[in-house]
Structure 1
Amino acid sequence: MGCCTGRCSLICLCALQLISALERQIFDFLGFQWAPILGNFLHIIVVILGLFGTIQYRPRYIMVYTVWTALWITWNVFIICFYLEVGGLSKDTDLMTFNISVHRSWWREHGPGCIRRVLPPSAHGMMDDYTYVSVTGCVVDFQYLEVIHSAVQILLSLVGFVYACYVISISMEEEDTFDFIGGLDTHSYYQDHVELKPVKPVEISNDIDSEMRLLNLT
């Protein structure tokens, strides 16, 4: 009963993680954040693997999901430190884009209440095709929105880690109990030690032949 409850809870939690990861992946694609895009892609694959392992009762897949969950928590803690500029990190660097482009978070210009204006450069010596983007009126700054997204991922991952460990422990206990009471080992042992006795052919008596001869003589 406990294993069924834990499995159902883990299935629901994996579904929530998939929805949240897909939502985050969409906005990271819009902002060309290549490092989070790669992390989200791996996270989606492992969550699907964990969901399959939970449904099909494959503890090894759940173990992979458990290990990845710990790594995913670490990655999201790093993202929080990055946007809050903890430990010398700066949110204005191109770390999240692998230094390929100068794009920033999509929420920087499209957050709730943000008014985006494209202004031509006023400084001398700048190329004519360069423009400035002015963003004003944001209800919540983009870095806090990114922090909220990472915090949600951490919360879901922590709960998923606990449930995954619980399901693994319950499944291992059930396997040990099944082996103790006999299970498949006893059945295979019985099959291996069954002695197959050859079937002896039935000897047909010669009385029938003698009777037939008597009838012919008469």
Structure 2
Amino acid sequence: SYCCLKELSLLSLERQIFDFLGFQWAPILGNFLHIIVVILGLFGTIQYRPRYIMVYTVWTALWVTWNVFIICFYLEVGGLSKDTDLMTFNISVHRSWWREHGPGCVRRVLPPSAHGMMDDYTYVSVTGCIVDFQYLEVIHSAIQILLSLVGFVYACYVISISMEEEDTFDFIGGLDTHSYYQDHVELKPVKPVSKGVTIQKNINPSNLAKTNQT
């Protein structure tokens, strides 16, 4: 579980860097929250805090849903379009960083027309890409889903073990409470018997008479 969460945090950090380069504000916000929750999960695993692990399991379900949406967005499923400004909150016209810097991509800036602007992506020519940017984004999301599912399974396993140990501890604690009660039953003090009284009780009167005659 620790190794899986560590891999998730590293991959999320890598994804966060490239989303920053592409000004993808929606994924940036999601990655930021995911990194925080993964750190909480790591802390809960190391320090044995089941509540933090439960928070991680709930967030994992939301994170998987978000990555499924990203896959649908870049594959244009259900009327979604990868050319919209949804990922940038309509703040800019930037697209994924992989669109111009993917493997084998050659980026060329074309002269703008009289009605255009230099920062508009319609005047940037990208050719020779080995893998299109949308498929790279889909691969990133698919890896996140796979690792999140593995982490979710391990987190549920850790939570189940902790619950079993808590039940066992309560059972043992009940026995300890019972024994504690038995050990601390109020005992009445017993008066000590002097040696002289004990000796007198053990002396036979006939032997005492014979002793006096002699």
TM range (shorter): 0.7 to 0.9
| Alignment TM-score, normalising by the size of structure 1 | 0.77
**Structure 2 residue aligned with 1:13, among 5, 24, 42?**
5
Taking the aligned partners of 2:107 and 2:33, their CA distance within structure 1 comes to 33
> C-alpha deviations, 1:108-147, integer Å up to 9, x for none?
0000000000111246677899981100000000000000
Change (3 A) 1:214 1:179: same
Gaps of 5+ in 2: 194-198
> What SS class does the counterpart of residue 210 from structure 2 fall into?
helix
* Displacement of 1:205: 24
Taking the aligned partners of 2:213 and 2:128, their CA distance within structure 1 comes to 127
8 Å contact kept, 1:47–1:65: yes
* Displacement of 1:97: 0.2
Change (3 A) 1:197 1:39: farther
Change (3 A) 1:50 1:185: farther
8 Å contact kept, 2:26–2:87: yes
| Alignment TM-score, normalising by the size of structure 2 | 0.79
Change (3 A) 1:68 1:207: same
The answer to whether the aligner puts 1:108 opposite 2:103 as a matched pair is: no
> What SS class does the counterpart of residue 117 from structure 1 fall into?
strand
* Displacement of 1:190: 4.9
Taking the aligned partners of 1:78 and 1:59, their CA distance within structure 2 comes to 29
Change (3 A) 1:16 1:117: same
Q: Which deviates further from its counterpart, 128-137 or 108-117? A: 128-137
Gaps of 5+ in 1: 1-8
Q: Give the paired residue count.
A: 208
Change (3 A) 1:49 1:213: farther
* Displacement of 1:69: 0.3
Task: Name the larger-Rg structure.
Answer: 2
* Displacement of 1:178: 1.6
RMSD: 6.4
* Displacement of 1:189: 6.0
* Displacement of 1:19: 3.7
Change (3 A) 1:166 1:207: closer
Change (3 A) 1:11 1:127: closer
8 Å contact kept, 1:13–1:160: yes
Taking the aligned partners of 1:75 and 1:41, their CA distance within structure 2 comes to 13
Change (3 A) 1:129 1:39: closer
Q: Which deviates further from its counterpart, 124-133 or 111-120? A: 124-133
Taking the aligned partners of 2:63 and 2:118, their CA distance within structure 1 comes to 42
Taking the aligned partners of 1:41 and 1:85, their CA distance within structure 2 comes to 25
Change (3 A) 1:128 1:99: closer
Change (3 A) 1:39 1:186: same
Taking the aligned partners of 1:135 and 1:27, their CA distance within structure 2 comes to 18
Change (3 A) 1:196 1:130: same
> C-alpha deviations, 1:80-106, integer Å up to 9, x for none?
000000000000000000001100000
